[in-house]
Structures are given as structure tokens and as C-alpha cells.
Amino acid sequence: MSQRHPHDETQARRQRRIDFDVLGPLVLLGFLASIIAVALSLAAIGSNDNNSTADVAPAASTSASSMPGMESTAAPEDLKADFTMKPYNPVTKPVAPGPKTFELVATEKNIKVGDKVYSMWTFNNSVPGPVLRAVVGDKITIKISNDKTSKLNHSVDYHASRMTLGGGNLQVEPGKKGEYTFTAEFPGVFMYHCATAPVLHHIGMGMYGMLIVQPKEGFGKPMPEYALTQSELYANGDHIDTNTPDAMAFNGIPSQYIQAPIKVKANSNMRLFVLNAGPSEQSSFHVIGTIFDTAFADGNPKNVTYGRQALGIPTSGGAVFEMFLRGEGQYPFVTHQFNLAAKGAIGMILAGDGKPGPGAIEDAGANGHH
């Protein structure tokens, strides 16, 4: 049997990198084009240890058509932006146990997202709201205030709590504030969102975020951690009612991690916290080029499965994914519902320099899964 000379191996790797420099962008564009093609073809086929205090009013029984801002069917390009949505930093890190206080401010703004302007309601002028972290057993204090320029009442429901309406019964008027507490009892990736009627519209307009509750012993061995929230963007209230997303996104901005990929070391492990905020679409989360060593449904380590290619995440559901990225290269992440990926629910992880190199198939024995 003939053996490859080291010089030949070096030349082969050099050529592979040259080929990538030339073809890599074309391959990525082709990949995105194939997603769009699939989407078009599919379209063609047709406890309560809590207490609360508040300066609030009772929840109003408001119909969607009579809500301020909902009567408008202005196209995104007709709106004047109050500000441009900043890129969302996906990095998240463990926290120590102990009491936590989270402050959220409800706002109603016109926000430029990519090349369009959307009328959006937010927590802390961000969609999604901030990623919050706690540990099982922590007493959590929620302070919510409603900006004085708002036209509507707002609230916040924490899926990690056991209390009336998850705290959403505390309805806060414009210019007012409220406060309540609960204890985190279970580990997981939990959604928080505005619970003011109609809830569909308050979530659809952008009022949602992720709360990660760590087990007391942690999620496992240390590794880089990132938080991703999948959601829909709608041009107006009618489109929310008919579930006609104008775009899809991870962390609020369509395809933002294609333009600014998440970068990790070659031959490294990573942990992803994923939430599907909806409000209406499901998610089939998948990272192209690897297999999930472990996946925790709803982010609870007791709900563990192994060797997953994808995991379905219902609206308001979450998950934790641990994986190994072999060698250097590109690892796109998507919802495998490609009609949604084509609208922006797609991102990129670059391992090493993002180009094929050491760790490719000939090195599998040294760089395989552990």
C-alpha cells in the first residue's frame, strides 16, 4: 500500500485552503440560495412564596383592532425609526447562586431592523429582551416599569415561576411600575413575555426574552455558552393575526450571524441555549456539520437525549444543546423548517479560521468526538 508523503499532505492542505478562499463564499451563497429555493417550492405546493406590590391598573379587555398602533397597516418602509437595533451579543456565562433582581422597562418604538423599520414593543429597548440567568433555589425579584411614552399597559409573565399568571396579573400603566418575587424551582431555558391582552400581539410585537435557570451543580463541564432566541417579525398587526411573518430571526435580527458569525476555537465543545419565542411558528433546531452530543428538552438535564441531529422546540419551549465542532470550518445553524430559515432563521458558527484544515477527515482519529 502506498503512503502519502508529508510534503504531499502539506500541499493538499494548502490547496484545500486556496480552494476554500475562492469557492467558500460561492458555496455559502449556494447554500442560502438552496434554502430560498426550498421555501419557494413549498409555497408553490400550497409556592407561592411570592409577593407583589404595584402602582398599576387592572388589565383592560382590549381587542386587537382597537389597540393604539394596531389600527395602522403602514408598511415598514413608511415608518420613521426611533433607533436602529444593535447586533445582539449571544455570549452568556454562568452565574453564582444567590438572590437576583431583574429590571425590565417596557417601551413602544419604531425600530430599524436590517433594512426595514418595524413598530415594536420591547423590554429594555431590545428584541429579544436581555438574557437573564439564575440558579435553582434563587429568590428572584422582578421590577417592571412602563415608559411614560407608552400608550398601552404592559406586564411580564415568567414561565419559570409558580404564581398567578406567572406575574402577568401585575398590569403596569404608562409611567408606572410594579414589583414581585418568586423562587426558581427547576432548571431550564424559560421564556418570559408580556402577558397583556391580546398576548399574541404583545409577543408578536417583540416583548419576550430568555431566563436560564442553572442546576445547582451547573449544566456540565465548562465550555463556551451562547443564547439564541428564534422568533418572527411582523410588518403589522394583521400579519400577526394571520401568522404571516415578514421575516424570521435568531436574536431579533434576520441572518445577523451570517454577517457576523459566532467564532469558536477549532476542535472545541460549545453549549447553546435555544428558546423559541414564536409567537406562532415551531422550530426544528439543527447545526449543520455536527451532531448534538446531548440535548436537554426545555433545558432540564433530566430530559436528556444523546446523539440528536435535531430537536423540535414548540413555541415558548427551550432546549440546551452540547456539541463538538471537529477541525476548522463552517457550521451553519438553522431551523430545519427551511421556509423559515429562508426568511432569516439562520446563522453561522466559524470554528478556527472557518476554513477547512487540520481536523478534516484524515485527522478524525485525533480529533473525533470524546
Mean pLDDT of 226-238: 98
Between 56 and 204, the more confident residue is 204
Q: Quote the percentage of the chain above a pLDDT of 90.
A: 74
Instruction: Give the Cα-Cα-Cα angle 284, 285, 289 (nearest 5 degrees).
Output: 125
Give the C-alpha separation, 282 to 335, whole Å: 9
Q: Region 285-306: what's the mean pLDDT?
A: 98
| Mean pLDDT on 95-104 | 98
As a whole number, mean pLDDT of residues 46-61 equals 42
Least confident of 31-35, 175-179, 280-284, 366-370: 366-370
Q: Which pLDDT belongs to residue 68?
A: 52
pLDDT at 22 over 50: no
Q: pTM for the complete prediction?
A: 0.81
Local structure of residue 87 (DSSP, 8 states)? P
- According to the model, what pLDDT value does residue 142 have? 98
Q: What angle do CA 233, 210, 207 make, to 5 degrees?
A: 40
Strand partners, 122: 107
Average model confidence (pLDDT) for the chain? 84
pLDDT surpasses 80 at 14 = no
Tens of pLDDT, residues 191-217: 999 999 999 999 999 999 999 999 999
Domains of the chain: 19-40+223-364 (2.60.40.420), 52-214 (2.60.40.420)
